[in-house]
């Protein structure tokens, strides 16, 4: 199979992403106006893609990906477009996984940033994609930087939670990051930091059941700590603030009271 001549949309899309390696990008799909031709808009690290041009790029990406003579870079370019079209494309992710694994740490960290762009941009199918979150987990385990680990992952999770509230997959990734990074980076931020940061986010997103569930998970993590009593004052403060907030400001939010009842009923 001969690779097709790239469409202008395919060339513009892949050029933009290739010119911003290792950078978190802001990606949006924007509607077209009947009186104007569709245009891909870029500004710095921001890109807005009209659906007709994304589908035009797909007409190049699909045959390119399945062509036997496609280079590794051609596969990375084509799978980028395939994932923009459909977040749950396991074949595209596995192809990227194979190439990234062979290229080493620098490319792995660039890939982490690319997936971060999908997960934190206002793309509903992408920032709540179990496949992309699992792929980020795989990348993080192999190429993540321990010194930045838990802070970097919480930043991504919170950004994803902002654009798509109640994002179970994002906060489940936070569970992974907590159990993966904290034991491996004793000189970095530890459980008290994660507790305080998560409590502050939960109190500012009081109806987000997923973050309250993660905060509850952190509470039970303290029971497995070598010195669980050292958390007593911090946990009591978080519970007290939560009860005060729910009673005085955010009445009717069952997610807060479910959290309070569960932790007060624990050991």
- What DSSP assignment string belongs to 77-105? HHHHHHHHH-TT-HHHHHHHHHHHHHH-H
Please answer whether residues 119 and 133 qualify as being in contact, where contact means their C-beta atoms are separated by less than 8 angstroms.
yes
Strands 46-50 and 26-30: parallel
Q: How far apart are CA 180 and CA 144, in angstroms?
A: 11
pLDDT tens-digit profile, the chain (267 residues): 556 789 999 999 999 999 999 999 999 999 887 777 889 999 999 999 999 999 999 999 999 999 998 999 999 999 999 999 999 999 999 999 999 999 888 899 999 999 999 999 999 899 999 999 999 999 999 998 877 889 999 999 999 999 998 999 999 999 999 999 998 888 878 899 999 999 999 998 888 999 999 999 999 888 888 788 888 888 889 888 888 877 766 666 777 878 888 887 776
Backbone angles phi, psi at 169, to 5 degrees: -65, -35
Rounded alpha-carbon distances, angstroms, from residue 256 to 19, 246, 267: 44, 7, 19
User: 75: phi > 0 → left, psi -120 to 50 → alpha, else beta; which?
Assistant: alpha
Q: How far apart are CA 234 and CA 152, in angstroms?
A: 23
Radius of gyration of the CA atoms of the chain, in A: 21
pTM as predicted? 0.92
């Amino acid at each position: 199979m001969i690779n097709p001549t790239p469409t202008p949309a395919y060339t513009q899309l892949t050029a933009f992403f290739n010119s911003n390696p290792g950078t978190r990008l802001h990606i949006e799909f924007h509607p077209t106006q009947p009186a104007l031709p569709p245009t891909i808009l870029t500004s710095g690290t921001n890109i807005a893609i009209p659906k007709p041009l994304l589908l035009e790029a797909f007409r190049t990406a699909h045959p390119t990906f399945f062509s036997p003579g496609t280079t590794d870079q051609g596969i990375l370019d084509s799978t980028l477009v395939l994932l923009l079209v459909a977040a749950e494309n396991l074949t595209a992710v596995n192809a990227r996984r194979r190439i990234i694994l062979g290229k080493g740490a620098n490319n792995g960290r660039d890939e982490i940033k690319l997936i971060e762009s999908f997960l934190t941009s206002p793309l509903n199918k992408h920032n709540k994609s179990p496949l992309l979150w699992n792929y980020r987990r795989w990348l993080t385990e192999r190429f993540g930087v321990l010194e930045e680990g838990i802070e970097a992952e919480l930043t991504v999770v919170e950004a994803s939670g902002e654009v798509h509230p109640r994002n179970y997959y994002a906060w489940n990734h936070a569970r992974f990051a907590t159990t993966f990074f904290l034991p491996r980076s004793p000189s970095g931020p530890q459980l008290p930091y994660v507790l305080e940061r998560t409590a502050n986010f939960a109190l500012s997103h009081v109806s987000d059941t997923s973050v309250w569930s993660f905060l509850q998970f952190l509470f039970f993590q303290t029971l497995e700590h070598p010195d669980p009593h050292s958390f007593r004052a911090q946990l009591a403060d978080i519970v007290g603030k939560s009860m005060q907030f729910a009673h005085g400001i955010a009445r009717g939010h069952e997610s807060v009271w479910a959290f309070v009842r569960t932790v007060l009923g624990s050991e």
